[in-house]
C-alpha cells in the first residue's frame, strides 16, 4: 500500500459530489429503521426483511459500485491516471491501495449503518445486527474489488456495474436458485445467517462455499486489476 496514493484518493472521494451518494443510502437506511421503531414496527421479522432487501440487497452493491469505480475510473476517463502511472510506483501497489480505500469506505458507509439500523430496531436479538454487519463488511470488500476491476477494464464501469448489480445480483442471483452460488449478495447473506439465529432468515448458499468464493473473487479481481494497469500506456492509450 502506498500512503501518498491512499491520501490523494481519500481526499478525492470525500471531496467530490460522490460523497453525497455514499451518505444518502446509509442515512435512508437508519431513517427507515428509526421510523419503524417510532411507529412500533420494530419486530425481528421486519428487521431481517429490511436488512436483507435494503441493507444487503440494495445499499451494499450500490455503495460498492460508487466506491469501487470512484477510486480509479474517473482518473482513467479524464487521463489524470497517467501522472500516477508515470511515478515509480508498482502498478499492483496502485491497485491494492485503491482497493483498500474503496473497501474502507464501504465498511464505514455500509457496515456501520447496517449495525446501527439493525440494533436500533431489535437491539442484539438473535444476533441479527452482528450477522448482517459482518455480511455487509465482507460482502463490501468483495464488491469493492469487483467494481475496482470494472473501473480499470472498461470506460463504462458505472453502466456495467449498475447492470450487474440490478440484473445479476438483484434478479438472477436473488431468484434463480442455481445462480445464487455466484452472487456476492448471497455470499454476504450466508455470513449473516451463520452469525444470526433468527428463524426468519435462512440462506441457500453454504458458508463453506461462500467464504472461499469471496476470497477467490476478491484476490482474482485485484490480480486482474494490477495486471491490467501494467498494460496501460503512459501516453493514455489502453
pLDDT digits 0-9 by tens, 177-219: 777 889 999 999 999 999 999 999 989 899 999 999 999 999 9
Q: How far apart are CA 99 and CA 21, in angstroms?
A: 19
pLDDT digits 0-9 by tens, 40-99: 877 899 999 999 999 999 999 999 999 999 999 888 888 788 888 888 888 889 999 999
Q: Does residue 189 lie in a domain region?
A: yes
Q: Does residue 78 lie in a domain region?
A: yes
Work out the mean pLDDT of the chain and round it to a whole number: 90
Copy the grid coordinates of residue 173.
442471483
Q: Does residue 129 lie in a domain region?
A: yes
Q: Which domain holds residue 207?
A: 3-230
What total of structural domains would you count in the chain?
Answer: 1
Phi, psi for residue 150 in degrees, rounded to 5: -60, -40
pLDDT of residue 31 exceeding 80, the answer is: yes
pLDDT of residue 234 exceeding 60, the answer is: no
The residue with cell 439500523 is: 117
Q: Does residue 216 lie in a domain region?
A: yes
Q: Does residue 238 lie in a domain region?
A: no
pLDDT of residue 237 exceeding 70, the answer is: no
Q: Does residue 235 lie in a domain region?
A: no
Q: Does residue 138 lie in a domain region?
A: yes
pLDDT digits 0-9 by tens, 219-228: 999 999 999 9
**Which residues, 6 or more positions from 97, have their beta carbon under 8 angstroms from its beta carbon?**
1, 2, 5, 6, 9
Question: What pLDDT score was predicted for residue 16?
Answer: 66
pLDDT of residue 238 exceeding 60, the answer is: no
What number is the average pLDDT over the span 115-130?
94
Question: What pLDDT score was predicted for residue 2?
Answer: 86
Q: What is the pTM of this model?
A: 0.93
Q: Does residue 237 lie in a domain region?
A: no
What number is the average pLDDT over the span 3-13?
90
CA 122, 123, 124, 128 torsion-angle sign: positive
Q: How far apart are CA 224 and CA 219, in angstroms?
A: 9
Question: What pLDDT score was predicted for residue 167?
Answer: 87
Copy the grid coordinates of residue 104.
474502507
Q: How far apart are CA 129 and CA 121, in angstroms?
A: 9
Amino acid at each position: 500500500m502506498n500512503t501518498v496514493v491512499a491520501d490523494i484518493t481519500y481526499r478525492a472521494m470525500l471531496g467530490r459530489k460522490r460523497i453525497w451518494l455514499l451518505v444518502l443510502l446509509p442515512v435512508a437506511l437508519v431513517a427507515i429503521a428509526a421510523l419503524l421503531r417510532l411507529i412500533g414496527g420494530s419486530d425481528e421479522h421486519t428487521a431481517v426483511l429490511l436488512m436483507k432487501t435494503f441493507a444487503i440487497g440494495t445499499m451494499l452493491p450500490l455503495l460498492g459500485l460508487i466506491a469501487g469505480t470512484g477510486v480509479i475510473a474517473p482518473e482513467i476517463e479524464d487521463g489524470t491516471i497517467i501522472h500516477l502511472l508515470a511515478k515509480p510506483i508498482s502498478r499492483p501497489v496502485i491497485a491494492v491501495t485503491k482497493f483498500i480505500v474503496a473497501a474502507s469506505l464501504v465498511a464505514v458507509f455500509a457496515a456501520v449503518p447496517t449495525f446501527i439500523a439493525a440494533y436500533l430496531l431489535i437491539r442484539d436479538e438473535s444476533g441479527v445486527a452482528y450477522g448482517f454487519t459482518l455480511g455487509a463488511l465482507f460482502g463490501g470488500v468483495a464488491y469493492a474489488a469487483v467494481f475496482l476491476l470494472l473501473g480499470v477494464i472498461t470506460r463504462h464501469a458505472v453502466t456495467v456495474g449498475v447492470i450487474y448489480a440490478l440484473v445479476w445480483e438483484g434478479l438472477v442471483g436473488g431468484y434463480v436458485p442455481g445462480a445464487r452460488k455466484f452472487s456476492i449478495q448471497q455470499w454476504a447473506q450466508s455470513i449473516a445467517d451463520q452469525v444470526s439465529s433468527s428463524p426468519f432468515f435462512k440462506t441457500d448458499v453454504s458458508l463453506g462455499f461462500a467464504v472461499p468464493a469471496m476470497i477467490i473473487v476478491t484476490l482474482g479481481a485485484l490480480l486482474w486489476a494490477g495486471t491490467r494497469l501494467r498494460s496501460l500506456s503512459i501516453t493514455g492509450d489502453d
